[in-house]
Amino acid sequence: MAQQHLEPTDPTARAVTGEALEGYLRAQATEFLRALRLHRETGTTNGAEESVDAARALRRSARRISGSLHTFRPLLDADWSESMRPELAWLSGTLGLEHACEARLERLLLALHRLSGSSMFPAQSLASGTAGSGPPVPATPERGNLTVGAAKAGALLERQLTLARTRAHSTALQALGSSRFHAVADKIAVLASEVPLTPAARTTDLRALATAAEDRLLAAVGALPLVTAGHPYNAEALVHGLSPDPAPHPQDGPWHQVRLLLRLHRYAREVLYVDGVPVDVRLLTAGQALNRHRDASEAAAAAAQAARTPRIAPATAYALGVLHADQRHEVEAARFAFQQAWQQQKVHAP
């Protein structure tokens, strides 16, 4: 959508009022209802891919509505906003979990495949999760040991993440059938025709609030250790990798926070540019780096978690240790990529 438009009139040159917010929220609500209809249709006919697309579209508009409620809060009915936001957060969280489990498993199996040497480990044999169809050359017990470890680690992760995914799927289905969901859907149906703006909103300029959102982003980025991140191989991401703390990576938190603030900034731009959002490649690149950061961080945690499974073989644990470190390395790489994208942005900005 955004790619089809060139830079429109500069939104800083003219006022953009609450009417733009109204239009945006109505459009997102309509989109939500369309996706919900699609999801119900495909859900019953069991069309997996269309159902996944519909769920993604649902999450997509729920996030945008929620983000706009946050950024432009003073322009909307306070009680309504306060009641909507936790419901939207619950909804996109619940709907996103299944996809997250699936993506995490795929990421971890691809990494195992890469780490095992592609000639020895066809991806299918790992994905099948059976150690029996694994590597053909365990020439000595020592060799076979580590080899089987990678295959067993893959099988273990597949079992655990498939179980998590199945649970997430059930939870999402239950959620979509719940009265709590119907209440949200009803509210969004109302939003599609009637946005609860405050009396003054229609003549209030949105730009101050959008700028405040951008300022929060800039402040959060400013607090990131970007100098360190810009030095490749700083080995920061794996520090405390063997710490006894079950959540040993508080260092990831500020990056996750920037990811959310960058998203809010992107949505605010969508509201402001009523005639189409100009593509900002650097913003896209920075956002992709932060997504990769989040994915790798969670994949690393899943590998560490799997290593805590009782009674696993040492070779399996070794493979999970290598995998954990590999994903923490990915975390560090993502920070570097973000730093590079962000520096470019600053250089090219007017």
**Binding residue for its own copies, selected from 232, 275, 284, 343, defined by CB under 8 A:** 232
Longest pairwise C-alpha distance within the chain: 78
Interacting residue with its own copies among 40, 73, 167, 308 (CB under 8 A): 308
Interface with its own copies in residues 93-152 (CB under 8 A) = 112, 114-117, 120, 135, 137-140, 142-147, 149-150
Q: What is the distance between the alpha carbons of residues 276 and 206, in angstroms, rounded to a whole number? A: 16
Quote the Cα angle for 224-226-231, to 5°.
Answer: 145
Total of residues contacting its own copies (CB under 8 A): 56
Partners of 76 in beta bridges: 197
Q: Choose between 93 and 117: whose C-beta lies nearer to its own copies.
A: 117
299 binds its own copies (CB under 8 A): no
Q: How far is the CB of 95 from its own copies (least distance, A)?
A: 30
Taking the complex as a whole, the smallest distance from the CB of residue 152 to its own copies amounts, in Å, to 11
Inter-residue contact 184 to 113 (CB < 8 Å):
no
Minimum distance of its own copies from residue 209's CB (angstroms): 37
Contacts with 288 (C-beta within 8 Å, 6 or more apart), sequence order? 337
Contacts for 7 with CB less than 8 Å, ≥ 6 apart:
278
Toward its own copies, which CB reaches closer, 47 or 144?
144
Q: Which is nearer to its own copies, 229 or 268 (CB)?
A: 229
Cβ within 8 Å of residue 205, ≥6 positions away = 15, 16, 17
Helix (H) or strand (E) holding 148: helix 141-177
Using CA atoms, how far apart are residues 200 and 150, in angstroms rounded to an integer? 62
Q: What DSSP element (H or E) covers 31? A: helix 18-45
CB of 237 to its own copies, least distance (A): 10
| Nearest partner of 283 among 212, 208, 214, judged by Cα | 214
* 329 touches its own copies (CB under 8 A): yes
- Interface with its own copies by CB under 8 A: which range of 37-45, 85-93, 231-239, 342-350? 231-239
Interface region with its own copies, contact rule CB under 8 A, candidates 13-21, 55-63, 210-218, 311-319: 311-319
212, 325, 344, 345: residue in contact with its own copies (rule CB under 8 A): 325
CA dist 155 and 164 (Å) reads 14
Decide whether 199 or 250 has the Cβ nearer to its own copies: 250
Helix residue spans in 253-313 (DSSP H): 253-272, 281-307
- Binding of its own copies by 332 (CB under 8 A): yes
Task: Establish if 313 lies at the interface with its own copies (CB under 8 A).
Answer: yes
Closer by beta carbon to its own copies, 277 or else 315: 315
Neighbours of 184 (CB within 10 A): 20
Verify binding: residue 278, its own copies, rule CB under 8 A. Answer: no
Rounded to 5°, angle at Cα 32 from 210 and 185: 105
Question: Contact residues for its own copies (CB under 8 A)?
Answer: 112, 114-117, 120, 135, 137-140, 142-147, 149-150, 232-233, 235, 238-246, 248, 304, 307-308, 312-326, 329-330, 332-333, 336-337
